Amino acid sequence: MNQHCHPMCMCLEGGRLGFKLVDHKDPLQVEDEQQWPRWLYGYSFTRAPGPKSKAPELQTVERRNWLIHLHYVRKEFDHCKQLIREQLEETRGMCEYANYVQGLILRQEGKIQESFELFQLCNILNPSSIENIKQMARALFLLGRHKLAVEAYLQAEDKLNKPDWELHHNLGVCYMHLKEYEDAREHLMFALEVNKHHQTFAMLARLYLLDNDIPSAINTYRAAIEYFPENGDLHTALGLLYMQTGKHQQAFEHLGTTLTFDANNTRAILAAGSMMQSHQDFDVALAKYRVAAQSIPESPPLWNNIAMCFFGKKKYVAAISCLKRANYLAPFDWKILYNLGLVHLTMQQYTSAFHFLSAAVNLRPTKGHIFMLLAIALTYLDDEENARQAYEQAISLEVRDPSVCLNYAIFLYNHDDKEGAVRMINEFEVRMVKFRQSTGADLDTEVIENGAKLASLLGVDGSAFCKKTSRTRLDAQDETAPQEKVSTTQDTLQPMGESLHHSPPPAPETPDELDPPEEATGRDTAVLVPRTHNPELHKPPTFVSEGDDSHGEHLASAHLQFQEEEPHVSNQGDAGEENSVNHKQNSDESFE
């Protein structure tokens, strides 16, 4: 007991330290002093009606806030909701923090409107709190009412006495959704000045991309990486942007960095893998995909890329298996269908190839390369007229790739249309020159050789085809060895085969940021150099090319009319010697 008087005296001293000890000094402590024995024997004094002088104990409204908060951050929402319910019952819904956390939980559960109402209630209970207004704004943002969200954020900003990163970041995002890019950029920049968060960097970069300002986006990511050197997502995004701009070296570096810090980053794996594929490192790429397959076994692009690796390694059955899985996972992805068509063409399954290609063309009727493959399939299916139509369509849709012209020229030559063939070979030459000028690279040697041979057969000056052969790219030279091997096997397998060529289309379509590898696969382009036997078919079926969705169907139905026609094998001899069969070479090229 003696010890007890001691604290009382010290209390007064405490006042010196700047703390306001209004009524702390005597009444309370004296009360305690009086209560001491009671407390000692089981602390009944708080519940039991004490002596008359004692005020009835009132439970502080906020007394359970810490418990609610702790359960909330531990994501024990069930428990938390129970606590909140009890708390709100006890306080008749007046506990601000309980309502606030309830709102946060509802938001996590996706009940945005309800959570918005709770934050409104919090705002009524405590109009001075900026946090409540910010949460209201956030709810409005999540409800897609960006204008109202901006207003709420601006209101919060007015009340705020110091800059707040979160507020400006969210304002920037809201403005971005409102398509007011200037304001958005301003706020995001400001948010970055307040505090550097990778979310803001990523958002700012996205904003630049919306404006098609790729250099600024790249700079933003580079700045972000200075602050977050180990953030895999930032490195991946930057790598993809570099890939898009054709800076493959830098792209590979950043994707590699991602993989060092986060070996399981599937986006980076897919992007890096597709780059390896384009350099024919199929085994390395497959090793990477194996890692990715652990975490995203249901990704269509992944299986598509795996399939094209097998294709590159000439494991066609595995390639078909994987492509069929990819197709099962994404039945409306034209790239997968296109690849399926390509692999089936290689396997000489022309009927199946036709199927997949006509499906692809229905989904993407503007892609010239699909029409070209379709034309090749149709040539083998003895449907000359439809093949011709498909070639015409391919040439009008694909205006840059020289190989389309070459294939058509060979087709025309084989069908005794020398005049048309000459016209096409000239067009081929024009396109080839343009291609050389625009990319600085040369076409695949096989394409050029075949072009030269056809030109000499037609009596056209084929010198243009030869003059740059010395300058073929490195990887093209690498290909020569396997090509020859293939051609021999191909000969035995299919004496009347045509050869497919792939050459890189000069301008790959803009990569989809989310799905980089698809872009890589989408670039396969087949160039067919028909070589021998070309059946002549007499009934010209109608091929309607103007309808967007109807190509495949019309092509399909068109065949009904002439099924009795006997395929007529002609001029097998002469052309056969000239064009070496390179059926499988397309695989090597498919990812260029």
Residues 502-561, interacting with another protein (CB under 8 A) = 556-560
Using the rule CB under 8 A, is 138 a contact of another protein? no
CA distance 503 to 444: 6
Which of 146-154, 293-301, 470-478, 574-582 is the region at the interface with another protein (rule: CB under 8 A)?
293-301
Q: Which of 175, 197, 193 is nearest to 185 (CA)?
A: 175
Binds another protein (CB under 8 A): choice among 17, 48, 474, 481: 17
Using the rule CB under 8 A, is 489 a contact of another protein? no
Using the rule CB under 8 A, is 400 a contact of another protein? no
Nearest approach in angstroms of CB 61 to another protein is 5
Q: What are phi and psi of 518, to 5 degrees?
A: -60, -40
- Please list every residue from 71 through 100 that binds another protein, using CB under 8 A: 72-76, 83, 86, 91-92, 94-96
DSSP 400: S
Tokens at 470, concatenated = 């010395």
Binds another protein (CB under 8 A): choice among 51, 63, 507, 568: 63
Using the rule CB under 8 A, is 131 a contact of another protein? yes
Nearest approach in angstroms of CB 190 to another protein is 15
Using the rule CB under 8 A, is 23 a contact of another protein? yes
Which of 215-223, 273-281, 364-372, 562-570 is the region at the interface with another protein (rule: CB under 8 A)?
562-570
Using the rule CB under 8 A, is 434 a contact of another protein? no
- Please list every residue from 142 through 171 that binds another protein, using CB under 8 A: 165
In the complex with another protein, which residue's Cβ is closer, 158 or 566?
566
Using the rule CB under 8 A, is 128 a contact of another protein? yes
Element (H, E) at 500: strand 499-501
- Please list every residue from 251 through 270 that binds another protein, using CB under 8 A: 262-264
CA distance 306 to 326: 10
In the complex with another protein, which residue's Cβ is closer, 47 or 179?
47
Q: Which of 239, 234, 236, 240 is nearest to 203 (CA)?
A: 234
Tokens at 581, concatenated = 């069969």
Tokens at 323, concatenated = 């492509």
In the complex with another protein, which residue's Cβ is closer, 13 or 548?
13
- Please list every residue from 167 through 186 that binds another protein, using CB under 8 A: none
Using the rule CB under 8 A, is 21 a contact of another protein? yes
Taking CA 193 as the corner, what is the angle to CA 192 and CA 194, rounded to the nearest 5 degrees? 90
Cβ-proximal residues to 44 (8 Å cutoff; 6+ apart), any chain? 38
Using the rule CB under 8 A, is 223 a contact of another protein? no
# of chain residues touching another protein (CB under 8 A):
103
* 241 in Cβ contact with 219 (< 8 Å): no
Cβ-proximal residues to 49 (8 Å cutoff; 6+ apart), any chain? none
Distances (CA, A) of 393 to 77, 132, 335, 435: 60, 61, 19, 21
Which amino acid type is present at position 65?
N
Q: Would you give the binding string for another protein spanning residues 310-349, x where CB under 8 A is met?
A: -------xx-xxx-xx---------------------xxx
* 108 in Cβ contact with 72 (< 8 Å): no
In the complex with another protein, which residue's Cβ is closer, 260 or 477?
260
Q: Which of 98, 97, 83 is nearest to 129 (CA)?
A: 97
- Please list every residue from 339 through 398 that binds another protein, using CB under 8 A: 347-352, 354, 380-382
281: Cα separation from own chain's centroid: 23
CA distance 492 to 580: 13
CA distance 100 to 116: 10
Using the rule CB under 8 A, is 418 a contact of another protein? no
Using the rule CB under 8 A, is 298 a contact of another protein? no
Which of 61-69, 388-396, 415-423, 502-510 is the region at the interface with another protein (rule: CB under 8 A)?
61-69
In the complex with another protein, which residue's Cβ is closer, 187 or 436?
187
